[in-house]
Amino acid sequence: MPTKDEILTALATVEDPEINKPITELGMVEDVAIEGSRVGVKIKLTIPGCPLKDRITRDVTDAVMQLPDVDDVQVAFGSMTDEERQQLSADLRAQNGAANPEMEIPFAAADSPTKVIAVASGKGGVGKSTVTVNLAAALAKQGYRVGVMDADIWGYSIPRMLGAEGKPVAFDGMVMPLQAHGCKVISIGFFTDPDRSVIWRGPMLHRALQQFLSDVHWGEIDFLLCDLPPGTGDIAISLAQMLPNADMVVVTTPQQAAQKVALRAGKATEQTGMKVAGVIENMAGFTDPASGATHDIFGTGGGEELAEALETEMLGRIPIDPRLTESGDAGVPLVVSQPDVPASQAITKVAEQIAARSRSVVGRSLPLTVS
């Protein structure tokens, strides 16, 4: 006959699919009954009628059936009381690192272990979002815990590029990010109708960003990558105010004009107090697979000039590769689907540099297998 402790140990391997924490830690195991080799488990759902009941039933059954003395598992459900739910939400907030559980931004604290990196560009279409998702996936592959916050409120493309679909669950004001390719993801795109453009200004924007930072259960993460809208604007200023320790990387193409607008964006953001940590040159040269010849379709040198003007480093050059577009459309970053092509290698190298610099502040977990 299995013991209650053995069953609880087995249940500790089952995570709530939305909160991504063991159900035992979340106080979701209400009761365990043992009768010979038959085991009954009663689970308290965070919300009644939770759509993930089937998944939880399967996971609980699989975990308990692993025990040698068990040959039948029955799963029953109840739901948390309002007080229990509020307590859980307060606990999750506390784990977020907030000193004050209400509306605190955990990443703003001077001793926050999370490195926040804002990805900016002077104008749209230079590949800022493509670079963000691939950098995030590359960092996750290297074993870091990564969050991606899509702050490109008007032109959000992160959900599509990461293949993150669905509506995040929320209870008592805590929102659970979606998971994709080893990253936690949040985007305004999860909350809006895709066919209607979003008209947000000043205070509303500020509030939306603040919610992304304080009300989303990011948990313990090593990196938070924020995809900023192009240009200089309210968002960069708001973010700089909310996240005084954030670094910014600027994505530009090799073209002179792109470099000039990127310079304006970089300078303006510097004035907000955000540190520019480096420049990434994207769409740098196209190598014809047939002849092997490289064509500098968008010119050369823009990245270096920008890095010089901003008195920062060039972090890397990513070549033009149509597979970056295809992989973005397919929702699987190229660094995941084809890690060995030059564009993926270039992005992986940038991720390694960013990680190396931040190593003093972030802890490294075991490498994940990301499929």
Given the complex with ligand ADP, which of 89 and 282 has the nearer CB atom? 282
Given the complex with ligand ADP, which of 47 and 341 has the nearer CB atom? 341
| Shortest distance (Å) from residue 283 CB to ligand ADP | 5
| Shortest distance (Å) from residue 122 CB to ligand ADP | 9
Using DSSP, state whether 75 is helix, strand or coil: strand
| Shortest distance (Å) from residue 247 CB to ligand ADP | 18
Distance CA 228, CA 114 (A): 18
Residue ranges binding ligand ADP (CB under 6 A): 121, 124-130, 157, 282-283, 318, 320-322, 324-325, 328, 343
| Shortest distance (Å) from residue 100 CB to ligand ADP | 35
Given the complex with ligand ADP, which of 137 and 175 has the nearer CB atom? 137
| Shortest distance (Å) from residue 130 CB to ligand ADP | 3
CB of 183 closer than 8 Å to CB of 137: yes
- Interhelix angle 342-358/128-141, rounded to 10 degrees, is 70
| Shortest distance (Å) from residue 103 CB to ligand ADP | 29
Using DSSP, state whether 216 is helix, strand or coil: strand
Chain residue whose CB lies nearest ligand ADP: 127
Please name which of 272, 271, 261 lies closest in space to residue 239, comparing C-alpha atoms. Answer: 272
Given the complex with ligand ADP, which of 68 and 289 has the nearer CB atom? 289
Distance CA 178, CA 360 (A): 28
| Shortest distance (Å) from residue 325 CB to ligand ADP | 3
Given the complex with ligand ADP, which of 10 and 265 has the nearer CB atom? 265
Given the complex with ligand ADP, which of 96 and 344 has the nearer CB atom? 344
Please name which of 306, 294, 321 lies closest in space to residue 255, comparing C-alpha atoms. Answer: 306
349's enclosing H/E stretch is helix 342-358
Given the complex with ligand ADP, which of 93 and 128 has the nearer CB atom? 128
The residue assigned the tokens 């759902």 is 45
The CB-based long-range contact list for 5-8 (8 Å cut-off, 24+ gap) reads: 6/67, 7/32, 7/34, 7/39, 7/41, 7/64, 7/67, 8/32
